[in-house]
């Protein structure tokens, strides 16, 4: 437990009003790479418009119903940490705990988060060994981590009042894909308000909102370091704002352009980083194996001499190709 201690450090809280997933992930990544955490820890809190975020080592097509996401205008992103795929919307709050490498301790962070919520609202939130949070047998939070030489973060979701129907529909990709990508571990999922709705009055339901939980967690986080909450004493993020700013709480209204990384919105990162895989298509009694690497079709039945080779993997396009008179060169 010594590695989880917070003694002798100060803390900062960064609250993002930005709701774009690519901007928030870019800022999170930038903080990890540019700030040093030997003398202070940091809690970064953000929400996103509806989006799906896959883990660094996952196959996007296997985890996400890509066509549904595209039809609904839901962004798909890939983060720099491992772990499974998660759904974000404005009813979900993301907490990212930054610290130095020796102090990295997801279990401690989840104990803090569950205790904060349980003590205030008599919830029965329990962490498990996979660093998820559950109420009963339903999952309300998933976790992942990123550790580098100069620091680390552990981030987790918290489903407060998310659209669970939308979540369920988007987190069902093509499980027939064959490959070595990290697969998400499915669990029954719920939100805090879904569990509590039968026992909540409308007045209580208004209190248990994302903004209330953000304020509650930020205040309790600072109290761990014996710092008074200064959530109302915020600085706007600017090009000059850095880890030496005097405020304990930094409010982000816009992520500076220098921090944004267009690569993280690219096909090459979101889809092309999927480990190589294969997909079998059955057409008119024949089975065709399509091999995909870096998001591009590399061959069909080990043949590279066909029109779809070199194109971005799109199962609808491939199926249409195979059902037309374009398969004479495919043995």
* 70 phi and psi angles, rounded to 5 deg: -65, -40
Give the three-class secondary structure for 142: coil
Burial annotation 107-133 (CB, 10 A radius, 16+ → b, else e):
ebbbebbbebbeeebebebebeeebbb
What is the average pLDDT across 10-31?
A: 95
Whether pLDDT at 115 is above 90: yes
Cβ atoms of 193 and 200 closer than 8 Å:
yes
HSE (side-chain half, CA atoms, 13 Å) at 1: 3
Which of 64-78, 112-126, 189-203, 242-256 shows the lowest mean pLDDT across its residues?
A: 189-203
The more confident residue out of 240 and 64 is 64
Q: Of 2-16, 129-143, 157-171, 237-251, where does mean pLDDT reach its minimum?
A: 237-251
Other beta carbons within 10 angstroms of residue 257's beta carbon come to: 7
Average pLDDT along the chain: 89
- Among 44, 37, 96, 93, smallest CA distance to 255 is for 44
Q: What is the pLDDT of residue 233?
A: 40
* Residue 141 in this model has a pLDDT that exceeds 50: yes
Q: Which pLDDT belongs to residue 279?
A: 98
212-270 pLDDT, tens digit each = 999 999 999 999 997 654 544 444 455 555 666 667 888 898 898 889 999 999 999 99
Q: Is the pLDDT of residue 37 over 70?
A: yes
256 vs 106, residue with greater confidence: 106
CA distances for 8 relative to 80, 150, 167, 239, angstroms: 29, 18, 41, 29
Strands 40-46 and 10-16, bridge-based pairing: parallel
The Cα–Cα gap between 61 and 319 comes to 15
For the cut 70, the answer to whether the pLDDT of residue 207 exceeds it is no
Lowest mean pLDDT among 5-19, 114-128, 218-232: 218-232
Confidence of residue 327 (pLDDT cuts 50, 70, 90): low
Q: In angstroms, what CA-CA distances link 254 with 15, 46, 187?
A: 11, 12, 35
Among 82-91, 159-168, 303-312, the range scoring the smallest mean pLDDT is: 303-312
Res 319: pLDDT: 93
| Whole-angstrom distance, CA of residue 322 vs CA of residue 48 | 39
């Amino acid at each position: 437990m010594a590695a989880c201690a917070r003694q002798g450090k100060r803390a900062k809280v960064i609250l993002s009003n930005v709701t774009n997933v690519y901007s928030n992930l870019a800022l999170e990544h930038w903080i990890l790479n540019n700030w040093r955490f030997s003398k202070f820890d940091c809690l970064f809190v953000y929400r996103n418009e509806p989006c799906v975020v896959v883990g660094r080592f996952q196959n996007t097509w296997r985890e996400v119903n890509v066509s549904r996401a595209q039809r609904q205008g839901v962004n798909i992103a890939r983060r720099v940490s491992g772990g499974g795929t998660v759904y974000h919307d404005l009813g979900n709050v993301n907490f990212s705990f930054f610290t130095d490498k020796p102090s990295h301790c997801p279990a401690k962070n989840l104990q803090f988060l569950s205790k904060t919520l349980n003590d205030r609202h008599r919830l029965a939130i329990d962490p498990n060994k996979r660093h998820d949070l559950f109420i009963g047998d339903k999952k309300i939070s998933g976790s992942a981590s990123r550790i580098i030489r100069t620091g680390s973060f552990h981030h987790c979701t918290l489903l407060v009042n998310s659209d669970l129907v939308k979540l369920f529909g988007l987190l069902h990709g093509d499980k027939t894909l064959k490959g070595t990508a990290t697969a998400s571990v499915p669990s029954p999922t719920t939100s805090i308000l879904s569990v509590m709705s039968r026992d909540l009055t409308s007045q209580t339901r208004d209190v248990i909102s994302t903004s209330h939980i953000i304020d509650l967690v930020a205040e309790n986080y600072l109290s761990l370091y014996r710092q008074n909450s200064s959530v109302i004493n915020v600085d706007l993020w600017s090009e000059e704002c850095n880890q030496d700013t005097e405020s304990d709480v930094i409010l982000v209204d816009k992520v500076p352009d220098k921090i944004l990384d267009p690569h993280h919105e690219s096909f090459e990162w979101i889809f092309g980083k999927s480990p190589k895989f294969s997909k079998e298509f059955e057409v008119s009694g024949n089975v065709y194996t399509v091999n995909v690497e870096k998001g591009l079709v590399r061959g069909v039945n080990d043949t590279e001499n066909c029109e779809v080779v070199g194109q971005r993997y799109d199962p609808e396009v491939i199926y249409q190709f195979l059902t037309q008179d374009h398969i004479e060169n495919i043995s």
